[in-house]
Amino acid sequence: MSAKKRIILDCDPGHDDALAIVLACFSEEPELLGITTVAGNQTVDKTTRNALRVLSLIGKDIPVARGCERPLVGELVTAPEVHGESGLDGAELPEPRFGPVREHAVEFIVRTLRESPSPVTLIATGPLTNVALALRLAPDIAGKIERIVLMGGAARDANATPTAEFNIFVDPEAAHIVFTSGVPITMVGLDVTNRALLTPEEIQGLKDGGPVRRAFAGLLSFYAAANERLLGIEGAPLHDPLAVAAVIDPSVITTQRVHVAVELCGSHTRGTTAVDLYRVTGKPSNAEVALDLDLPRFKRMVLSALERADRSG
Ligand code: RIB
Ligand code: CA
């Protein structure tokens, strides 16, 4: 029996991050060592509170470490138009049953990696500020990172600007540090996550479940309505859960190993991931970029994790 994959989830809950937490907690494979929060969809106070509320909803006592309040260089850009003022609008969630640990998220990541008896997979579903600072604070941890699987960027899609995806756009310098770190990277970008849609009918079907599924019926209804209003997307794009699913079962995505660079200077293109699909730059590949997904398998993973969360209550 192979040892479970040890993971840390760095996130900015956020509706899809919240479902990523459920998938990480209620799947056989990963051993979730901790959740670290970062400013992105909302302020870090709100993303931290939301992570704690989701864990209280699903009855899991996973350590949560509060992280960076703003990007490395630019000003913080949040997404209340997508996730609401709380960052998790659309359902009444319980108050947190416990608070965050005293450690800063960056310190938590560094200590946990150094103490781990085996390499750890970092799953990042928000701006990469915490991950970048951990790599700068403690370069030695690179050898203890199995892989960074990040939701972010795109080869041929965008949502924050005409050319950039939100997580990379919020902190391009952090993304540059990660993509040039030499650590193995899997980039789960909008090319596949905008296709990882839960339909309105599937969202409504959650209402027939227990308290966890009923809460996510409200959350995902709010989130899907915002995505349709803003981006014309029909359904709920499960960006972050797909990154977690790709760790649990790598066959749920199909990747191509290519070079990815992050634009830092363009006045119109800052935060764009330049994904060299046709290898025109001649630069060495530094990431596995997801270009296709097994949508039925992914949906089964997500819906069964939600069912297990209700059964465990
Ligand atoms: O572009 C989608 C990403 O930005 C997701 O991680 C979503 O939660 C937001 O953080
Ligand atoms: Ca996110």
Mean pLDDT of 69-98: 97
Mean pLDDT of 242-253: 98
Residue found by looking up tokens 């270009």 in the block:
291
CA dist 201 to 93, 164, 217, 293, Å? 22, 30, 10, 21
Q: Is 50 in the pocket of ligand 1 (CB under 6 A)?
A: no
- pLDDT for res 4: 84
Mean pLDDT of 150-173: 98
Q: Is 125 in the pocket of ligand 1 (CB under 6 A)?
A: yes
Residue found by looking up tokens 């992280």 in the block:
67
Q: Is 189 in the pocket of ligand 1 (CB under 6 A)?
A: no
Residue type, position 61, single letter: D
Residue type, position 228, single letter: E
The answer to whether 134 touches 140, Cβ cutoff 8 Å, is: no
Mean pLDDT of 267-282: 98
The answer to whether 127 touches 12, Cβ cutoff 8 Å, is: yes
Calpha distance 78→274 (Å, rounded): 23
Tens-place pLDDT, residues 200-237: 999 999 999 999 999 999 999 999 999 999 999 999 99
Calpha distance 92→246 (Å, rounded): 30
In the chain, domain spans: 5-312
Q: Which CATH architecture does the domain made up of 5-312 adopt?
A: Alpha-Beta Complex (3.90)
Instruction: Give the dihedral sign, CA 266/40/239/180.
Output: positive
Distance from residue 280's CA to the centre of ligand 2 (Å)? 31
Identify which of 10, 11, 12 to mutate to test ligand 1's pocket (most ligand atoms within 8 A of the CB): 12
- pLDDT for res 1: 54
The residue among 145, 124, 112 whose CA lies nearest residue 10 is 124
3-state helix, strand and coil shares in percent for the chain, rounded to the nearest 5: 45, 20, 40
22's enclosing H/E stretch is helix 15-25
Q: Is 13 in the pocket of ligand 1 (CB under 6 A)?
A: no
Mean pLDDT of the chain: 97
Which residue's alpha carbon is nearest to atom 10 within ligand 1? 126
Closest atom of ligand 1 to CA, residue 12: 10
- pLDDT for res 3: 75
Token code pair at residue 117 = 């008896």
- pLDDT for res 29: 78
Calpha distance 216→223 (Å, rounded): 10
| Confidence class for position 2, pLDDT limits 50, 70, 90 | low
Exposure string of 137-170, with b = 16+ CB inside 10 Å and e = fewer, is ebeebeebbbbbbbbbbbbebbbbeebbbbbbbb
Calpha distance 101→117 (Å, rounded): 22
Closest atom of ligand 1 to CA, residue 239: 5
Over pLDDT 90: what percentage of the chain? 97
**Higher local confidence (pLDDT), 1 or 293:** 293
Calpha distance 151→163 (Å, rounded): 16
Q: Is 171 in the pocket of ligand 1 (CB under 6 A)?
A: no
Strand 287-293: give its sheet, edge to edge: 64-66, 31-37, 6-11, 120-124, 145-151, 185-188, 287-293, 253-258
Q: Which DSSP category does 271 fall into?
A: T
Distance from residue 285's CA to the centre of ligand 2 (Å)? 25
Distance from residue 120's CA to the centre of ligand 2 (Å)? 20
The answer to whether 8 touches 131, Cβ cutoff 8 Å, is: no
Give me the active site residues, please.
239
Question: Which residues have CB under 8 Å from 44's CB, separation 6+?
Answer: 12, 37, 38, 66, 67, 68, 69
CA angle (255 as vertex; 252, 261 as ends), nearest 5 = 135
CA trace torsion 211, 217, 222, 227 (10° rounding): 140
Distance from residue 256's CA to the centre of ligand 2 (Å)? 23
Distance from residue 225's CA to the centre of ligand 1 (Å)? 16
